[in-house]
Structures are given as structure tokens and as C-alpha cells.
Structure 1
Amino acid sequence: MKYISGILVTLFMALISFQISSLPFCKTYQLSPLVICIVLGMLIGNLLHQYIPESCMHGIRFSQQKLLRLGVILYGFFITFQQIAAVGMTGLLTDVLIISTTFVGGTFIGIRLLGLDKETAMLTAVGSSICGAAAILGTEPVVKSKSHQTAIAVATVVIFGTLGMFLYPFIFHIFNITADTMGIYTGATIHEVAQVVAAGNAMGSEIGATSVIVKLTRVMMLAPFLIILSFYLNRSTKESTGHQAKIVIPWFAILFVAAAGINSAQLLPQALVNSLSQASVLFLSMAMGALGIETNIGKIRGVGLKPIILAGVLWIWLLIGGYGMTMAAQQLLN
């Protein structure tokens, strides 16, 4: 019973965010309920925090932790293995190259060159590497970040992903890139799924279809990425402290793949799959709202411009290096 009041608070915020996201302005700029809900949560958490009863905090933290994992699991119902096979090895190789170079390079630049803490650097890098806010939320339990670190990472990838959403159609027309190349390039380098949908369809249905499939393949890689990252962080802890830390296997990531497998085999009625997909967005929105409530603007301000600089550097890398990797993968496999 102690969780109910807080869960209802985040549910109410999520439902409001769904309504706001359906407004023409939000539809035009592909502002998802996840983004709207974290902003709403930050406003409530910083302006009205004194009016939130302490009894609600149990449910709010439950939404931020448990419902987050459930949302990631159900996110698998957006994906099928058939979609991944449809783009072939070129799209898969491009995704692997983009994810590995962007995450490793971003983490190095963030920690070694910009002096960011490990958690903020990793979260910002994974948001740019895989699938924006959803990847950041999925990685949060593995790196054990604080609320304000997660919020900073989400904010930066939303900013630069939105810029990319508007810029890519201009790149397509100015440089006269082929539809096949542009579809893979768009799906492999733009941050959020919604942003890929908007940018891809603005360039034509063929590019739109290819870019979404490549993007969903990139999303699928979140699961193996989290498992590898968990083992890496465990090894780093052992080397630095001399003690064997407990390996945290992100079971929700494995269940995420299982959900995609169920969807691929068409074991469930399509109506139920659609409902589960919508539930995923609802739970992730609730988690974002809870995250926003627990995010203190003072802590974000204290970090300064470094996370934005890191996200900007990674965005430029995705624009330039991402295109180069797309071309390299095509030449290697075609």
C-alpha cells in the first residue's frame, strides 16, 4: 500500500504527458511522452517539491526503478528479428561500428578530456550510441547513476537528436545521397526512434522504412551491450579495489530480447502486442516523470557545460563519422 500514492502521481503525470504529446505542435516536432514527462517531473520536483508528501516518495522511486525495467522489457514488442534480417549485414555492421566507437570514444572524451564523472560520461555516450532516453534509462541500473546524472544525459541527447531530426533531410537533398545509404545512415546515427521516424519519412517512404528498421536493430543491441558493460564494470571494480564485485546481470535486458522473440514468432494476437507496446511507453514515461521529480536543478547547474560539450562532440561524430562508417560497411559487404 505504501507504493500506491507515489505510483498514482507518476501515472497521472504520464497520462498528462500523453495528452500534451498529442497536440499539433508536439506531433510536428515529434516530442514523445517520455521527454514531456521528465520536463514535467523536473518542474514539479523543483518548484512544488515541498507539497509532495513523503509517503509518495516510495511509489515514485518504485516507478523510477521497477517500472523502468518493466518498460524496457516491453519495449521489445516494438521489434522483430525479421525486421533486423530485412536490412541485411550492411545495416547490422553499421550499427555495431557506430555503437562501439561512439560509446568507447564518448566515455574516453568525457572522463579523460572533459573531467566528467564516469556515470555521466557513460550515460551520455550510450544515449548517443544506441537509442537516446530509453538506452540511458536501461543503462542507469547497471552504472548505478544518480538521478541528476541520468537527467543530464537525457537532456543532452534530446537536444542534439532533435537538431539531427531537422538537419538530415537537408543533408539528403544537398549531397544527393542514395536512398539506401541515407536510410542506413539515418537509422544508425539519429538518437531517438521517434526522431528517426520523423527524419526518415521527411525524405520519403523508402528511406523512412529502412531507417526505422536499422534503428530498431540498434535498439535490439541494448541487451548484449548492457551485459558486456556489466561484466566490464565488474572487472574494473576488481582491478581498482582488489575485491571481486558481484556481477550484475541485467535480466530485464535478456527479457527484452525474449519479448522481441515472442513478437517475431507472432505468438500473441496483434492487438495484445500493440497494447504491450503502448504499456512500454506508459511505464517508461512514468519512470521519466519519477526521475524528473528527484532531479535537483542545482546539481545539474553544478556540472556546467561539459555534458553538453560531450553530447555535441558525439553528435558531430555521428554526422561525419557515421556517414563514413555507413559507406565503409556498404563497400565492405556489397
Structure 2
Amino acid sequence: MLEKGNRANTLHGILLIALFSFAAFYIAEVPVVRRLSFSPLIVGIVLGMLYANSLRNKLPETWVPGIKFCTKQVLRWGIILYGFRLTLTEVAAVGIPAVAVDLIVVVVTILGGVLLGRLLKMDRDTALMTSTGSAICGAAAVLGAEPVVKCEGYKTAIAVSTVVIFGTLSMFLYPVMYRTGMLDGLTDTGVAVYTGSTLHEVAHVAGAGNAMDPTDALGIAGTATITKMIRVMLLAPVLVVMGFVLAGRRKSAGGKKEKSKIAVPWFAFGFIGVICLNSLLQYLFGVESVREIPLNGAIEYADTFMLTMAMTALGTETNLAKFKQAGAKPFVLAGLLYVWLLVGGYYVTKYLVGML
């Protein structure tokens, strides 16, 4: 993609996406946007979609390879570097209940979403992407699944849109439920695990957790974030399994006995490797938080920028006509999964946290 003869045009496309991403970072710091906890990733895809529906046809098509470079290579490196936000110590900190709840939520959401997608007669890739975003970590999970599923960019954007809508709703709803006593059946730890295992984005968990426990005196905000990060760690094994399953599906769909290449997401192993490295660095430097590891903050910032570039690039491939083509079914599916997370997640948390 960065061949010598096409390098200049490709770099033009990358620069265009980088400029949009800088704008996304700036807009994300605007007070109103910040209060809504819209990360640069979300702002980036919105900017990309605005571009797709306005100036997309007025710029050279020779820049497209640079945009696609951002949706592939930049995306994969962004997912790998995402591992610097996590350590194995965080898993041990919250114990078996959080891990168990996360596992059930992720497995049931993905499998249930795929089955519901069939009942709704949805496109299988859109159903899988939407389910993955709801199950694991919102936009980052959708981005991680995109190279494995190999679907069109607009399907990825639709899946991200469902995450934004229902995740943002949850961020405001959970504190209201907590204050009105609707979560009184859970302990403080239970509320934290419930929040971390059912909300979509890391930013949504942080926002809801801080609203319920601003000083973290009850341990809700911190434990909710750690529970969420354990859920993020499940992205790697999910992508590996997904790669094997989809390889078999594509083989049977072709109706031939030819060998089917299994799309093993090697970047998922890189993600796990970085988590292990980060855990080692935390031990060597003797710090309590990953943010205290030297250069960790700079790496996280760079990683967020790379993921923002990927989101923006995906947004540029999405126009309103494609949303109309997809129809309301993806949002119906996301709504049904949201009900499961809201209600089913509550009872799963109540049972497992009380038992384990």
C-alpha cells in the first residue's frame, strides 16, 4: 500500500485522516462534549461521516489507499498498543466474581446477538459486529473485529453507532438507578461489577462510576473500571475464536472443498503480549498504577490517536445511503442486547457476586 510509485498519494490520504483526528481531539475537550464522555474515537467517526456525506467526492480517489491504510495497519497497531492500559494484576485485584460475570456477559451477548440477528433476518456480519461491540468494549471491540470479519466499512460504522447510542444512555441511566434504589439488591462491589460488565465503552463505565461514587470512597468507580478492563482483555481470545469460526463459515459458503485460510488475528496475540509486558514493567518499577509506569501516558495518548485515525477513516467510508440500506434492524438488535445487559446482567451479577 506504501509502494514507491503510490507513496505520495497514500501519504496524502493518511495526512487527511490525521488532520481530522487532531480536530477530533480538540472537539472532545469542548466542555459540552466532555460532559457527555464522548471520546476522540467517537468524535472522529462522526467527523469522518460528515466528510463522507459532503466532500468525499471532491477529493482525489488516489488518496483512498491512505485512508484504507488507516483502517487496516494503523488500526491493528492501535489494538496492540491498547494493551498498555492493562495488567494481569488488575484481574487478581477484583477476583473470580468479576471474571465470571464478564465471561457470561461476553459469551451470551455474542451468541445471543448472532441468533437474534438470524431471527431478524439481518446481514450476518452486521449482527456479529453489533454483538461484539455490545459484548466487550464498544468501539474498540468493533474495530478489533473488523479485520477478522472483513466486512464493509459502513457496517462497522453502524455497529459503532449502536454502541454510542445505548452506551451513552446507560451512562446517565445507571447513576439514576443507583440513587433511586433500583440497585439496592446489590452490594457496593456488586454495583461496581454490574456497571463494569454491562456498559459499552470504557468512558461510559468511568462516567457512570464517578457519578455514583465521585471520590471512590465505596470502591465503586475503581472496581467498575477494573471489571471493564478485564472485559477488554477478553477481546483477544474472542477474536481468535472468531477467526477460526469465520474461516469455516466462508469455506462452507463457497460450497467447495478447497483449503480455507484461517484468519488468525495475530494482532490479538500482540495485544496479550503487551499486557504481559506491561505487567512485568509494573513489577520492575514497583508502581501501583499503569499510569505510573514511565512513558505509559505518552503511549496511551499515541494509541488513542491511532484508534481515532482508524475510526475517522472508517467514518469516511460511510454515507447516509448505506445507513438506509441497513435499515432499523441493527438498532433493534442493539436494543434487545441492551435489555439483556440491563436486566440479565443485573441478575447474573447478583447471583455470582453473592455466591463466589
Whether TM-score is above 0.5 comes out as yes
Where 1:249 maps in the other structure, the secondary structure is coil
> Number of residues paired by the alignment?
332
Task: Identify the match of residue 188 of structure 2 among 179, 190, 193.
Answer: 179
For residues 32-51 of structure 1, the aligned pairs below 5 Å read: 32-51=39-58
Say yes or no: does 1:152 pair with 2:158.
Answer: yes
Task: Identify the match of residue 231 of structure 2 among 192, 212, 218.
Answer: 218
Q: In structure 2, how many angstroms separate the alpha carbons of the residues matched to 1:34 and 1:271? A: 25
Equivalent residue, structure 2, for 1:295: 318
Q: Which moved more, 1:69-78 or 1:321-330?
A: 321-330
Post-superposition shift, 1:200?
Answer: 0.6
Q: Which moved more, 1:168-177 or 1:181-190?
A: 168-177
**Cα deviation code 1:40-81 (max 9, x no counterpart):** 001111111122222221111101111000110110011111
Q: In structure 2, how many angstroms separate the alpha carbons of the residues matched to 1:86 and 1:147? A: 38
Equivalent residue, structure 2, for 1:194: 203
Q: In structure 2, how many angstroms separate the alpha carbons of the residues matched to 1:165 and 1:9? A: 32
Q: Which moved more, 1:217-226 or 1:167-176?
A: 167-176
Q: Which runs of 5+ in 2 are unaligned?
A: 1-6, 286-291
Say yes or no: does 1:325 pair with 2:348.
Answer: yes
Post-superposition shift, 1:32?
Answer: 0.5
Where 2:138 maps in the other structure, the secondary structure is helix
Q: In structure 2, how many angstroms separate the alpha carbons of the residues matched to 1:74 and 1:228? A: 21
Q: Look up the equivalent residue of 2:194 and give its one-letter code.
A: Y
Identical pairs, percent: 44
Q: In structure 2, how many angstroms separate the alpha carbons of the residues matched to 1:231 and 1:166? A: 38
Where 2:137 maps in the other structure, the secondary structure is helix
Q: Which moved more, 1:273-282 or 1:69-78?
A: 273-282
Post-superposition shift, 1:171?
Answer: 1.5
**Cα deviation code 1:256-292 (max 9, x no counterpart):** 1111111111168823221111111101100111111
Task: Identify the match of residue 78 of structure 1 among 70, 85, 100.
Answer: 85
Say yes or no: does 1:285 pair with 2:308.
Answer: yes
Equivalent residue, structure 2, for 1:230: 243
**Cα deviation code 1:65-120 (max 9, x no counterpart):** 1100011011001111101110100000000000000000011101x211111100
Post-superposition shift, 1:235?
Answer: 2.3
From the two aligned structures, give the one with the greater helix fraction: 1
For residues 58-73 of structure 1, the aligned pairs below 5 Å read: 58-73=65-80
Q: Which moved more, 1:166-175 or 1:318-327?
A: 166-175
Q: In structure 2, how many angstroms separate the alpha carbons of the residues matched to 1:237 and 1:25? A: 45
Post-superposition shift, 1:239?
Answer: 3.8
Post-superposition shift, 1:242?
Answer: 4.1
Compared with structure 1, are the counterparts of its residues 51 and 239 closer, same or farther at alpha carbon in structure 2 (3 Å cutoff)?
Answer: closer
Say yes or no: does 1:25 pair with 2:32.
Answer: yes
Where 1:47 maps in the other structure, the secondary structure is coil
For the 8 Å contact 1:263–1:273, the answer to whether it is kept is: no
Q: Look up the equivalent residue of 2:193 and give its one-letter code.
A: I
Equivalent residue, structure 1, for 2:261: 246
Q: In structure 2, how many angstroms separate the alpha carbons of the residues matched to 1:133 and 1:330? A: 28
**Cα deviation code 1:2-46 (max 9, x no counterpart):** 321111111111111000001111111101000001010011111
Where 1:265 maps in the other structure, the secondary structure is helix
Q: Which runs of 5+ in 1 are unaligned?
A: none
